[in-house]
Amino acid sequence: MDICVYCFLAVVSLAYLAGSFPTALVTGRLFFGRDIRREGSGNSGATNAFRQFGPLAGIVVLLVDCGKGVLVVLAAPAVYILLSGQEFPDALLLSVIAGLIAVIGHMWTIFARFRGGKGVATSAGMLAALAPVSFLLSLPVFVLVLGITGFVSLSSVTVALAFPLVVLVRHLLFQSYPVWFVLYSWALGALVVFAHRKNIGRLVKGEESRFERVRWLWHLFRRVYPER
């Protein structure tokens, strides 16, 4: 097998291991002596860490999980050069593949019997590094939906669909991205929606938990229009 293939497989494997780092699980066991998989929703993500361990732990988990996505995307081409002594033919494609593998690693981590988070934070970090303009244009959708409803799951699903739309529009207007990246953004969005399928079911039934403290737009509206 060609050495370049081995180097590619090595980069992909390292990306999976980086994405697999179970931040919420490690945080819970190291600082609280608790297994987050046995508490709350059982999800090893920032939202459940926020609920079970408090805001500081939730923010730490969020930042680390986002950082995994950023790190993998930025490091993948450099690691390939380090291993093979030459550049990968398409650095963007390598970063995209590595980023996706990191998200998969976060969702199905080898370090916790393949029970991880929903991949939102790691996807956010990956997309912020890959397509910062489209990411920033999509981010207000998450903030607005969260500020109105207080549902992190609904906000995540909404922005997972908003980002591919932004990428598609920018591709059609400015040719900012290759066609395959547009298709990739839709596939990633579908993966995030799939990961939230149980949350969607609870939303439909009216059983999903919400963060009242982050419904700042809703509470602002009620303060301005208390009679409504």
**Confidence band, pLDDT 50/70/90 cuts, at residue 113:** confident
- Closest residue by Cα to residue 130 from 194, 63, 185, 183: 185
Helices (H) and strands (E) in the chain, counts: 11, 0
Phi, psi of 151 (to 5 degrees): -95, 110
User: Which of 50-54, 139-143, 215-219 is least confident?
Assistant: 215-219
The contacts of residue 117 (CB under 8 Å, 6+ apart) are 24, 43, 44, 45, 46, 65, 106, 107
**Confidence band, pLDDT 50/70/90 cuts, at residue 228:** low
Look at 116 and 223; give whichever has higher pLDDT: 116
Instruction: Supply the pLDDT for residue 115.
Output: 87
**Confidence band, pLDDT 50/70/90 cuts, at residue 223:** confident
pTM, to two decimals = 0.91
Instruction: Supply the pLDDT for residue 227.
Output: 63
pLDDT > 70: what percent of the chain?
Answer: 98
d(CA 45, CA 116): 7
Interhelix angle 46-53/55-84, rounded to 10 degrees, is: 150
User: Across residues 77-103, what is the average pLDDT?
Assistant: 95
Q: Between vectors from CA 17 to CA 14 and to CA 20, what angle results, nearest 5°?
A: 150
CA 73, 58, 60, 21 torsion-angle sign? negative
- For residue 22, pLDDT beyond 70: yes
Q: What is the CA radius of gyration of the chain?
A: 19
Q: What does the mean pLDDT of the chain come to?
A: 92
d(CA 4, CA 101): 18
The contacts of residue 79 (CB under 8 Å, 6+ apart) are 10, 11, 14
- Cα-based distances in Å from 163 to 3, 46, 157: 36, 21, 10
What pLDDT, in 10s, does the model give residues 130-154?
A: 999 999 999 999 999 999 999 999 9
**Confidence band, pLDDT 50/70/90 cuts, at residue 219:** confident
Q: Which of 10-14, 206-210, 212-216 has the highest mean pLDDT?
A: 10-14
- For residue 200, pLDDT beyond 90: yes
User: Across residues 104-112, what is the average pLDDT?
Assistant: 94
Q: Two tokens at 167? A: 């990428």
User: Across residues 100-122, what is the average pLDDT?
Assistant: 93
- Cα-based distances in Å from 137 to 91, 128, 151, 186, 192: 24, 11, 20, 16, 18
- Cα-based distances in Å from 179 to 1, 93, 186, 195: 30, 12, 11, 25
